[in-house]
Amino acid sequence: MKILKKEMIGLFLMVLGLLISLSIIGYDYTEQPGGFTNPPESWLGHFGVFVGYPCHMALGYLSLILPLTLLIAGYTFFSSKSFKEYYKFLTYCFSLCIWLSIFFSILKIEYLSGIYDDANQTGLTNLIGYNLSVFLVDIFGYLGRVLIMTLLAMYFVILVFKVSIYEKISFFKDLISKKIQIIFNKIKNFFKGVKEKFLKIKNKYSSQTDYDDSNEKNSENIIQTNSLEITKNEKISLDESQEVQILNNELDLDQINDLDDNNIDEDIKAEEKNIEEKSDHNNDHLVIDEEMYIEEGDLDEKINEENKYLNYKLPELKFLDEPLDIITHNEDILKEKGEQLSYALNSFGVSGKIVRISPGPVITLFEIEPAEGVRVNKFTNLSEDLSRIMGGKRVRIIAPIPGSRSVGIELPNDSPSIVYLKSILNSKKYVENKSKLKIALGKTTTGDAFFFELNKMPHLLVAGATGAGKSVCINTIIISILYNAKPDEVKFILMDPKKVELTTYKSLVGYHLITAKNLDEYVMTTSENSVSILNSAINEMERRFQVFSDVRVRNLDEYNTKRNRDSSLENIPHVIVIIDELADLMMTSGRAIEEPITRLAQKARAVGMHLIVATQRPSVDVITGLIKSNFPARISFQVSSKIDSRTIIDQMGAEKLLGRGDMLFLLPGSASPIRVHNAYVTLDEIEQIMNHISSQPKPDEVKLPEIKKMESSNEFDISDNQDELLKDAAVLVVDVQQASVSLLQRKFRIGYSRAGRIVDELESLGIVSGYSGSKAREVLVDHTYINEIFGD
């Protein structure tokens, strides 16, 4: 019944807002309220006149802010949404209306007086704006009124659009200066070309004039000589053939002159064309991008809004270090590097033109357009040679850049910048995203903020060599979620076999960190507890599927939508399972740890459970085919070999990374990874956030369903049908650190079939690695593990 009342109130307010809107829009300024005897011309009759007249007198058409408020209020009642979502929008609209009322009043008084005799004829002037304008003039004068209005306009732009006025002024200043420089260079090149063209034409005409003068002198001498000979020999007469020959000689001379003139014209045209081409070539300028400026949002303001009526408060940005100023890149140095790179490529017979330089916080991308006939694979084979020529720096080549005809060459910066997490969390794009599982990962190669939504991945595999940045990446992921989600929205299951990386988050016990009812630790440090907590997670997954089936929804988003309408449904938070070192668990537990990971990766996405698995040994016996196929999103930090890079991201390139947070991120469905520089989080920052969370009242603790600790016989599936030599074979292969069918045949004097079955059983128990062709099986465990399996 309460919902029906809200809908009725909402409909009433929306209709009232619509009536007032039509009254204001359709009001005729010649009409005034004068009783009910005169028929009104308003769209809405007397109501339109009685409502439209005072609204137009007060604010003119700007009074539409009143019905807009009623429409939004009615919609919030009708849809059972919170009015506070629109509070800031209406506040900004009202402020803009007051400012515009003053502005239009100034416009009417100063510029439109005499054009419109009636103050309301324009529909823009109004009493409120007029009185405020007069008040400002009386207090501050005309010049002061202009300055005050300009200041208020700038405040409005800063608050509403989150735009830095100084940054915009600097941007336009740099843009205008660059445009002026380009125009100046074009004018300079134009006059230079005209000068060269004039000199060429002058030289051609001067040489032609000398040639014509000499020809005229020679012809005169010939004519004079012939005339003398004819006079001297009076009996000599010219026959027709001689006359014809003389005529032909005269014609030949004219033709020669005409041909010379034509050749001169053609030479002049060709020279003009060459000069124009040269001028155009000089105008081709290299594009040098600036490192991208991250537009800031206001995460603290959003946090305060979301927690205004809640007991739990999300962490504030003050706990994170302030980012230092971005290092500016010198264009001359970038051009010098580009010339050095072009020279190096040309020295190896690979020609191309650098068309763009994109500097970033850690590396700079040079886009090179290959010349005609140059194959792309010529670039890929020059990685090591370019690294040597460029001073031993790690060079990564992208051939070609996806969606472009250019080839990319990434060179490390001489002074790399630190990527601070605060700059990513406070970026406008990140703040505007509504997801609770948005991860502020770092910056791209161009300096833009990069983040992703974990629920769209839906699982993440992280790999890289020791010290490459995996643990910092895990910290970044956890802190990003803590800044967006409350304890009833997201829960963590943490596994840390190294016992030192994730212990800081023990302060989250009772808040975001959960465990199973039968376990005595919250951050799993033993393989036994890790296997147990994963099986508990599987039970929770199956329970959630049953709940979704009963409610008739397919995923957690649909369930939460239905829960917003029906508060009797239980709260089901997201669960994020983080494993910091998979290789250690695979060595000690083998298939016992692989199977629950695979099951969760295959099915848990729909019920809001996600896996983040990290390892420093990206080999095929750790990242098995089953695990890899269910982790479409993968992050590779620096690795030691091309094989490791292929294992993680299915292509080479990770071995060329710089370390210290430099990564390649392969998104689901993408063939080309994105290079990202991971945001850095210090231990002090994490401790401050933990202190903030632990200082708040603890909510009701939630635990996963209890799973009995697996006995040795059940955990490793050792049945009564096992071979009697299985234990002896296990001890043998651990002693000699070698496992093969022929070894068991020789030592125990058994046949090939029986020895093969024993090796298969050893593999199923996780004692030896799987079959890999001609390579020998690897022994994965020690004697302690053997004693745990067989109970000795």
712-740 confidence digits (pLDDT tens): 434 444 555 678 888 889 889 888 888 88
Q: Residue 207: its pLDDT value, please?
A: 52
Report the percentage of the chain scoring pLDDT > 90.
23
Q: How far apart are CA 386 and CA 397, in angstroms?
A: 10
Least confident among 113-122, 160-169, 399-408:
113-122
Q: Six-digit token pair at 160?
A: 């509403």
- From the centroid of its chain, how far is CA 325? 21
**Cβ neighbours of residue 422 closer than 8 Å, sequence gap 6 or more:** 317, 320, 321, 322, 323
Alpha-carbon gap, residue 533 to 195, rounded angstroms: 83
pLDDT at 132: 87
What tens digit of pLDDT does each residue of 652-700 get? 889 889 888 999 999 998 888 999 999 999 999 999 999 999 988 887 7
Is residue 142's pLDDT more than 60?
yes
Q: What is the pLDDT of residue 157?
A: 83
Closest CA to 537 of 493, 567, 487, 500: 493
**CA atoms of 580 and 496, how far apart (whole Å):** 5
The whole-number pLDDT of residue 715 equals: 46
Nearest Cα residue to 579 out of 709, 474, 442, 710: 474
Q: Which two tokens stand for residue 623?
A: 């990242």
pLDDT at 122 over 50: no
Q: What is the pLDDT of residue 555?
A: 92
Across-strand partners of 452? Answer: 439
Asked if pLDDT for residue 291 goes beyond 80, the answer is no
Confidence band, pLDDT 50/70/90 cuts, at residue 475: very high
Q: What is the mean pLDDT of residues 387-395?
A: 82
Q: Tens digit of pLDDT for each residue in 483-494?
A: 999 999 999 999
CA of 583: how far to CAs of 461, 470, 621, in Å?
13, 14, 9
Q: Between the ranges 95-109, 231-245, 441-455, 695-709, where is the mean pLDDT highest?
A: 441-455
Average pLDDT, the chain: 79
For tokens 């948005």, the residue is 438
pLDDT value for 542? 92
Residue 443 clears pLDDT 90, i.e. is over it: yes
Mean pLDDT for the stretch of residues 370-393: 84
Mean pLDDT of 377-393: 83
CA dihedral 211, 216, 217, 220 (to 10 degrees): 160
302 confidence band (pLDDT: 50, 70, 90): low
Q: What is the pLDDT of residue 300?
A: 56
Residue 196: band (very low, low, confident or very high) from pLDDT cuts 50, 70, 90: confident
- Phi-psi group of 499: left, alpha or beta (phi > 0 → left; psi -120 to 50 → alpha; rest → beta): left
Within 13 Å of residue 469, how many CA atoms lie on the same side as its CB? 26
- SS (HEC) of 302-368: HHHHHCCCCCCCCCCHHHCCCCCCCCCCCHHHHHHHHHHHHHHHHHCCCCEEEEEEEECCCEEEEEE
pLDDT at position 98 over 90: no
> In whole angstroms, what is the distance from residue 15 CA to residue 224 CA?
113
Give the separation between CA 414 and CA 390, rounded to whole angstroms.
11
